[in-house]
Each structure stands twice: as C-alpha cells, then as structure tokens.
Amino acid sequence: MSSLPRILVLGIGNILWADEGFGVRCAEALAEHYVMPDHVTVMDGGTQGLYLLPYVEEAKRLLVFDAVDYGDPPGTLHIVVGDEVPRFMGAKKMSLHQTGFQEVLASAELLGRLPDELVLIGCQPVELEDFGGSLRDAVKAQIAPAIDVACEWLTRWGAPPVRWEGAGRQLNVDSLLMSAYEAGRPSARAACRTGDARFMQED
Amino acid sequence: MSVLETQGFKLDNSGKRVVVDPVCRIEGHLRVEVNIDSNNVIRNAVSTGTMWRGLEVILKGRDPRDAWAFTERICGVCTGTHALTSVRAVEDALGIQIPDNANIIRNLMQLALQIHDHLVHFYHLHALDWVDVVSALKADPKRTSELAQSISAWPLSSPGYFRDVQNRLKKFVESGQLGPFMNGYWGNPAYKLPPEANLMAVTHYLEALDFQKEIVKIHTIFGGKNPHPNWLVGGVPCAINMEGAGAVGAINMERLNLISSIIDRCIEFIDMVYVPDLQAIAGFYKSWTYGGGLSSQCVMSYGDIPDKANDYSASNLLLPRGAIIGGDLSKIHEVDLRDPEQVQEHVAHSWYKYPDESKGLHPWDGVTEPNFELGKATKGTKTRIENIDEGGKYSWIKAPRWRGHAMEVGPLARYIIGYAQNNAEFKEPVDKLLHDLDLPLTAIFSTLGRTAARGLEASWAAHKSRYFFDKLMANLKAGDLNTANIEKWDPSTWPKEAKGVGFTEAPRGALGHWIRIKDTRIDNYQAVVPTTWNGGPRDAKGQIGAFEASLMDTPVAKADEPLEILRTLHSFDPCMACSTHVMSPDGQEMASIKVR
C-alpha cells in the first residue's frame, strides 16, 4: 500500500436505466484503457449508497462520474469542483441514486472525513426513462472527453494515468459490458419503453 | 362517499385526501394517498408503485448463468440477496447441487446482509421517525450518560463523550448543513423521547455509521469485490487457500480471522447498543400501538439459511418457513412455491394486462405486459396525477396473493411464524422483550413490533454467523476446500427445457425468482419481491395489501406533517433513501420530506 494520499475515481448510476449508466460506463472505460498509480482506485459504485462510505472516507481526493441534471442541453459535459459538488448533486432529484450518494457525502462530512478535494464530471442525460436501455449516442460520445478531463485532474493531483493499448482491467463481469448488455436487449415491442413521465414532478 | 369492508377494515374515502409521494426509483417509487376524517384518523389508504420495472422482460433471451449480475443491479440495497435468489433459481432448474462450503459461505453473506441492512435501517433510515435530532441539542450530557449506563455496559458512555457529540451536532446544525437530518419534522408532538434519550440515540447513529462499514467487508472477502460481489451458479466464486499469503481472490487464514473478528464485533454492537436502544426507545412509545395492519391476520415467510446444503425443506431452514392465515397462530400452513394454486399475482388494479383479470397467475406462467389506464375518478392529468382512483388500475406493482390472501412478509412475519412454531430462538427473545416492556403478545402486531423484530433478528443473524463460521472452519480443518460444483456449467449438459424457483428471505421479506429455461436461454423470468407483497394494490375481490392495511385507523397528530404515515411505511424497510413530496388536498406542495 502506497503512502501517497488515496484517490478514488467513482462511477455512479444504474446501467439498467439508459443514460443513468454514464458514470459506471466512464469508470469501466477508464479502468480498461489506463493503468493507474497504486494510490488510485477506480470503482463502479452503482447505486450503492452507504456501502460506498468506507471508500469515500479513505480518499483524500474524490472524482465522480455521473449523469446529472444541470439544466444544460442533453449530452453536455459539465464539471463541478469542491464545495459545489454535494450541493449540486442535491439540486434536482432525477437520478436513481442521487439521494443515496448525497447522503454518503453528508455522512462522511458528519464523521469529519469528507475528502479534501471533490470533482464531479457530469453529463446531462438525454433519456432516463428506458429500463433495460443503454446510453444514448450523445451521452456515449461524452465518455472519451469525460475520461480526458479525469486524466487531467489525476495528472494535476500527481497521479498521471498511463494509456494502455492491450486488453485492460475489466471492472465488471462480461455480461454487463456495454456491448454484451446492448446486444442482449429485447425488441422495443417486447420491452416497455414508454417510461414513467406520469408521476415525475416536472419542476 | 362510500364505505367498503374488507379483511375487517372499513375503507371510507370521504374526508380529506393527503398524498405522500416519494419520488424514488429504488425498487419502484412509492406513492401513498390516504383519507383522513375530521378527527385526523386515517380511514382509507392507497399504495401506488409508480415505476415500471420490467426486469423480467430484459432478462429474456440471456444466459441463465448471467441473470444474477442483472438482478444485482435492480436495487442498491438488495444486491446480494437478489443475486443469491437468482443462482438458486438456476440451480433448482438444472438440478445443480452445491458443496457444503458454498452453502455456508452464502449463508454468511446473507446473514451479513441482514445484519447490515437491519442496523442501517434502524439507525439511519428509521430512527429519525422516533428520535428528534433537534431535541438532542437540549440534553444534559450527564443525565444522558446515566441513562446509557442504566441500559447497557457499552463503554462509550461518559458525560464527556456525549458532550463532545452534542457539540459536534450543534456545529453541524448551526452551519445550516443538517445533511442527513434535513427535512425532519423536528418538534412534532408525535415525538415522545426526552432530550437525553434523543442524544443517546443520535450518538449511536454516528457510531453505527462508523461500524456498518466493517460488516460489509464480509462481502468484499467472500464476493471477491465490493460494492458488487461476484456470485456463481454452482457454488461461490472464491477459492480457499489456507496457506496462501494474500493470493488475489483466494481466502486464506488471515482473511478468515478478519471475518471472525467482524462477527464478534457485530454480536457485541447489536447486543450492547442496538437492542438496548430499541428497548429504551420502545419504552417511550408503548402507547403508540398502531400500524399492525395484516400482521395479526396473514403473514408468510419462505424461510432461508439452509443448515445443510441443497435441502430447502422447512425443517432444514433456520429462518422459519410457513404461512398463517386468519390470525390463527395454532396452524402453520406449508408454503409450496411450485404449486400453481398458492403464489399468484393479480393485476385487476395493476397497470398490466392479463387474458382474464379476475384470476391470478403463478409466476412460472407470469405475464408482464404493461397497460396504463386510469380510473374514471382520477383527479389531474395523465402526466400529473393529483388523486389516484383506487377503483380502477392504480399501481405498477402487481398484487401477489397466497391462496387468495393478501400477506405481510418481512422480519415481523418471520418472528410471528417462529413464535407460533414454538421455536425457542424466536420465541424467547420476543417473550423477554415483551416482559421487560410489560406488554402483551398482541403488542407485536404493530409498527413497533415490526421494528423490534428487525432488531431481534439482527442479533439472531450475528449469533448464527458465528455458528456458520465455526462450521466452515471445521470443514477446512478436515481438508474440505471445495467451494463450487461445475459439473453442469456447460450448457450442453442441460435439458432442452427446464424450470426452477429460487427463494431467500431478504431483510425486508420473502423474495422469489421463478425461471424457465429453453434451449439454454432464459425463456421467462419473474421476480416477486418483498415490496410486491407488502406494497401491492387491491385485488379483484377488493382486498387491500399490507402497506394499505398498516395505515388504517392511525391518528395523525398534524395532517400536514404525516410523520406517523412515514413511521409505519418505514417500518417495512422500503428499499432506500427516497425523497418525498407531500401534497396538500388541492395539489399544492406543502413540504418536501425524506422517506428514509
């Protein structure tokens, strides 16, 4: 274990809900294409809420990938830094896990163990209301730019990732990889893709 | 206005309608509407699952050996328990026997999940329905210390310790960042604890927050990774190498010792902090006897934690299995998940289409075809419903029934069944708690009973973890290191068609996955989750579900602060932190609160 301050790169969201999967897909791609210094952990946080607290607490620096409603045009990448991060994540309740991760940050703060530096790399979603669906093209196109931004931050933090062209580290089992997940999707006719706008409070 | 009678309840939908609408998508959003009479007593309750969750559909055509990985993603809390249920369903379908060590390790993971979930539920999701954080600021640390020492020998109990916590809390509140304590109904007259009990509970909230992280390490070690542990059809994916010095993924003596020490600390924390707190808090709420709902009538448990591997019969399951109907505790009915006449899902009031909606369908023959239509008396528009019409279809949750009865599932159901079976492991702790609080047996049929059963079960699970850990060590010492059976891993060994059912007792209740396999692919997959049982809508006969029943006849101190509604709904441990909007009768948002 290195004595350098820990850095956690966390992808959060739910891969089963269309653009909700943005954060997890970014973390997967980062882990696959880059070799990280020892003191950096790349993790698929899913929608795990309090389960993530120990990892967040151990980190001095936290970088989060997520689908966030900033009110921007769909597919826009938006970076938020520092104190703004938890507040920003609480701005609108649209994401599957948002309350959960906000609560993690609040809990870490209550215990006096919030990371010193927070960076949120968020993407404005195109579509969330599609259970079983994958990322929309505009959001998928932001994975590579999001990873570039993450690499800049990691470099600034003294932990430059090294690009790796071979078969990289896989965060998740084969069946959940984006290609396999998309290929196994039932037809639009079989799957209900009408979503659930009925109960969403459009405010 | 109309009054309908069902299951001993009188449903009266006149009076003021209050809507509680958590905008949460974990295991389905939940929205509840109630009618309150002129005395602020709930006379009608309507539970709506507002989310389409078509897991069944997206699994169709995939490899059955992968189903666990998808089911693990349904929800952020029940990850492991869905995965376990899924691998059991596939093993049942294909006739796969797992090694004893795999059974033990799965039990240890499932028990760790129970302990973690119950602890986090009590302190972080539910306690604030009973505990007033702001009142804790007024507590005398010295008297808090006396109170803590009178109920437990837990060492962290000095006046200085409580003063420190109080100061930290003050700073937090003064900074305006209430964080997890935001949006509480602080000062509501339904809060009954003195400031000292509030401070003690908030202090333990913080300790539990710190401690819960330890429990999860059991999943990290056995599951190879966290937060999404790996599972395997045929066993568990972790290899055991007793001499190994930290080989990646393999379990060695060092890791086993860590698990052993975590189990010891779980036992200590639950028996010295959680259960004494529960008892102390319950002592102040003895007169709040509401929320029992269906628990005094119809409860069911599938059972779980097989003692010996591969035997899922009631006598081998350490968590009790059975059904009670009509409140007759002298008769435990056998539950058979394969019998097409027993578990059936109905859709008369659900947004699905069946060929004949007067009848239910067994999950193996289940159909998940959406059909969103609203009853004529619905107020509002399709995209912004003000009041739902429970006379029509009103939920995305199906209405499961056991032999036609609406059932409550969960820790209270398990404890009532264990009690009725005269199983000392369940009966004695209940009797002791009731004796200490000077309450009759009927007191357990309540919101508090549900909350108490969860605490007692956490203790049971911690002690049972010790039992299984010792069993694992005995196997390993005898040279049995086998953790997986891969004889039938290759699909060419499978029959052309097969069907199976897997079940567990998730922290919040009975969970079943029914699978049909055809030509090595998933042909049909139906998951009936605990929230389907508890949160489901009415059926064709008009029978209400467990959530709906539990709210009936509860008085609400302040109609615009439905603390009592949340208290009872939370006692079922709905899946996760949800954000809730409370709407006034005219549809105006009155408050934004948290369903914890």
Q: Tell me whether residue B165 is in a domain.
A: yes
Q: What gap in Å lies between CA A78 and CA B377, rounded to an integer?
A: 44
CB contact under 8 A, B385 and A198: yes
CB atoms B50 and A199 under 8 Å: yes
CA angle B361, B326, B287 (to 5 degrees): 120
Report the chain A residue with the minimal C-alpha distance to residue B23: A200
pLDDT at residue B248, as a whole number: 56
Residue A97 predicted with pLDDT over 60? no
* Inter-chain residue contact B57 with A191, CB threshold 8 Å: yes
Pick the residue from chain B with its C-alpha nearest to A202: B384
Which pLDDT value is given to residue B578?
30
CA-to-CA distance for B269 and B499, rounded, in angstroms? 42
Chain B residues in contact with A192 by the CB 8 A cut-off are 52, 54, 57, 370
Binding residue positions of B for Ni(2+): 75, 78, 575
Residue at B440 is within a domain = no
Q: Which residues of A touch B573 (CB under 8 A)?
A: none
Q: Does the residue B82 lie in any domain?
A: no
- Across the interface, whether the CB atoms of B52 and A176 are under 8 A apart is answered no
Residues of B in contact with A52 (CB under 8 A): 227
Assigned domain for B282 exists: no
Question: What is the per-residue DSSP string for chain A?
Answer: ---SPPEEEEEES-TTBGGGGHHHHHHHHHHHHEEPPTTEEEEEEET-GGGGHHHHHH-SEEEEEEE---SPPTT-EEEEETTHHHHHHTS---STTHHHHHHHHHHHHHTT---SEEEEEEE--S----BTB---HHHHTTHHHHHHHHHHHHHHTT---EE--SS---SS-GGGSHHHHHHTPPPTTTS-----GGG----
CA distance to B147, B155, B420, per residue, from B150 (Å): 5, 12, 33
**Residue B197 domain flag:** yes
Q: Report residue B112: phi and psi, to 5°.
A: -60, -40
Q: Which residue has the tokens 């959060």?
A: A12
Closest CA to A16 of B83, B25, B576: B25
From B54, B228, B384, residue closest to A191, measured CB to CB: B54
* Each residue's pLDDT tens digit, A103-148: 788 888 888 899 999 999 999 988 877 777 889 999 999 999 999 9
Does B83 map to a domain? no
Q: Under an 8 A CB cutoff, do A202 and B383 touch?
A: yes
Do A103 and B180 lie within an 8 Å CB cutoff? yes
CB nearest to B581's CB, from A103, A191, A201: A201
Contacting residues of B for A57, CB less than 8 Å apart:
213
**Chain A residues touching residue B577 (CB < 8 angstroms):** 49, 99-100, 103
Quote the pLDDT of residue B380.
83
pLDDT score recorded for residue B344:
97
What's the gap in Å between the CA of A106 and the closest CA on chain B?
A: 5
pLDDT at A194: 47
Minimum CA–CA partner of A183 in chain B: B62
Q: A-chain residues within 8 Å CB-CB of B52?
A: 131, 192, 194-196
Testing the interface with A: which of B72, B221, B228 to mutate, by most A Cβ within 10 A? B228
A110 touches B at CB < 8 Å: yes
Q: Which among B124, B384, B578 has CB closest to A99?
A: B578
Task: Tally the domains of chain B.
Answer: 1
Yes or no: say if B13 and B1 are a contact pair by the CB < 8 Å rule.
yes
Nearest CA in chain B to A46: B76
Task: Decide if B227 and A48 are in contact by the 8 Å CB cutoff.
Answer: yes
**Chain B contact for A137, CB < 8 A?**
no
A69 known ligand binder: no
Residues 174 to 193 of A: which have CB under 8 A from any B CB?
174-176, 184-186, 190-192
Task: Give the closest-approach CA distance of B225 to chain A in angstroms.
Answer: 10
Q: Tell me the average pLDDT across A14-39.
A: 92
B50: nearest CB among A43, A176, A196: A196
Distance to chain B for A96, nearest Cα, Å: 6
Enclosing domain of residue B197: 133-207
Contacts of B384 in chain A (CB under 8 A): 198, 201-202
Domains of chain A: 7-199 (3.40.50.1450)
CB B347 within 8 A of CB B354: yes
Alpha-carbon distance B330 to nearest alpha carbon in chain A (angstroms): 41
pLDDT of residue B303: 98
- Can you read off the two tokens belonging to residue B17? 């309608």
Distance of CA A122 to the CA centre of its chain: 8
Task: Give the whole-angstrom CA distance, residue B9 versus residue B34.
Answer: 14
Q: Is residue B540 part of a domain?
A: no
Q: What residues contact residue B320 under an 8 Å CB cut-off, 6+ apart?
A: B301, B303, B314, B414, B417, B418, B421, B423, B426
What residues of chain B lie within 8 A of the CB of A109, using their CB?
177, 179
Distance from CA of A108 to the nearest CA of B (A): 9
* Nearest CB neighbour to B54, from listed A14, A174, A192: A192
Residue in B69, B209, B372 closest to A111 by CB? B209
> What's the pTM value of the predicted model, to 2 decimals?
0.91
Q: Which residue on chain B is closest to A172 by alpha carbon? A: B228
Percent of chain A at pLDDT > 70 equals 83
Q: Which residues of chain B have pLDDT under 70?
A: 1, 21-29, 51-54, 75-78, 176-180, 182-183, 244-249, 383, 575-596
Chain centroid, CA B30 distance in Å: 14
Read off the pLDDT of residues A169-193 as tens digits, 9 standing for 90 and up.
888 888 888 888 888 776 665 655 5
Using CB atoms, pick whichever of A49, A111, A199 lies closest to residue B31: A199
Please state, as a whole number, how many other Cβ atoms lie within 10 Å of the Cβ of residue B439: 19
Residues of chain B in contact with residue A50, where contact means CB-CB under 8 angstroms, are: 120, 124, 209, 212
Reduce the DSSP state of residue B120 to 3 states and report it: helix
Is residue B188, in this structure, part of any structural domain at all?
yes
